[in-house]
Structure 1
Amino acid sequence: MTSASVGALLRTWRVRRGISQLELAGRAGSSSRHISFVENGRSRPSEEMVLRLAEHLDVPVRERNVLLVAAGFAPRYACTPLDAPELGVLREGLERLLGAYEPYPALVVDATYQVVAANRGIAMLLEGVAEHLLAPPLNAMRITLHPQGLAPRIRNLREWRAHLLAQMGRQIALARSEPLRALYEEVSAYPLAERGRPDEGEPAEATSLIALPLVIEHAGQVLSFVSSISTFNTPMDVTVAELAIETLLPADPATAKYLRSAGP
């Protein structure tokens, strides 16, 4: 492919980030003239320049490979299968992390919300979910929002659904992913369950000023969680870059007590 192709891609990322050529040049130690020449194909960027611009534009690792190939270079970042021996230490570390978080729920998902690992806290919450949703590969968004999944038990479904769809929308805007877009279209079309808002006095009231809680029933008990998502810092592999660890922190003492009594 020609350098014009990489220039067009870089321009798309720059516009998407809302950064001017002058601002990008300042961040990358270049000049706005050179950035302009790269974008319009008059200058062929070096491999180092492509990577530097991608870094300052916060381009996802997978898309950095696309930029490199478009500029005539080999991909820099591997895409190692998660079950490959090279990632054995990573898998072991994730399993230890999830286990240490018990009895509180925690899971690991990939870029399209496929569940790659989960602890027993998550397994407890999935009790009663339709079997077809639990057949591999499990998808966290599908399980959460499907009418035969967790949705009927989520007390603040409208708010939580809006939060999840907005999260997916932001990801789609940042990266070209047809599988993610297809998932978004699928789950956003699910009908809403009858229940849509928490009743007065439920745990969501106490945490609403801190963060939007997930308020969900389990075995007749109303549980409230605050979600936290972590990713790996400066990953050099596409697979690792696209992993996200989500932990559900009890949002009130009653939830923490219930999980400790019901957990392993």
Structure 2
Amino acid sequence: MRIRLICFFLFFSFCLHAQDYYQLAPPLISYSSAFFKDSMAVQLHFSQPGAEVRYTLDGKEPGKRSKLYKAPVIIRQPGTLKVKSMGKGFIASETISISFEKTGLPVKEISYSRPNDYYASLPENVLFDGVGGNSNFRSGNWLGYDSDSVTIRIKLEKTSRVSDVLLNLLQDENSWIFLPEQILAYYQDSVTGNFLPFAKETFQHEGPATRACSLRHLAASEPVVTGQILLEIQVLKKMPGWHASKGSHAWLFIDEIIVR
């Protein structure tokens, strides 16, 4: 009888503390686009008795003293929203982050190299429609390339002062989607009409990354006056040695360009 009582109390104690080892799932985030003109409403979805959702807008990790989610979060400035579900007796969820950016200068048109046939029927304004930021490459907003290089020409509505160009790219290495080898940006001189160097970025692929959008800022050393921007993107031609398909040609995915 004594042994049975001991076993019962041990089992009861285990059940009482079992939830201490239960990790919460992260909240679901709903938003129409990662790009906005004036403001953006973001909804967080999570339901677990005894748990709650905390968030930050300053780039810091959410904690017990961070803002408590009660109503849609209104985004008015560019930045990163970080969210986490947590509660007493639970292990907090992993942090989910989404970066939001304001739309930039008005764009007249963007012409680009023909993408893979599967993505060739997307609307002509797909790179400046203000819709994007979803890390699912099948969402219908991404241009996909399996070629060696991509050329993109951006024509602004009018000649303007330009300081940087933003490109929203995708990393989903399990699907062979990598950041490129290099991006070279040029601007058309408003006097001579010649294209001159604006900015560049070279990428390293030293280890695997989680699936996510990657917003790249190509900033000029000083602002320029121009009406056109030219981008030359070198796609990763051989996936690195740590990848299961090392040596194979990678894909490049892009869904939005902002000029500021």
TM-score normalised per structure 1: 0.23
Q: Which has the larger radius of gyration?
A: 2
TM-score normalised per structure 2: 0.23
Higher helix content, 1 or 2: 1
Higher strand content, 1 or 2: 2
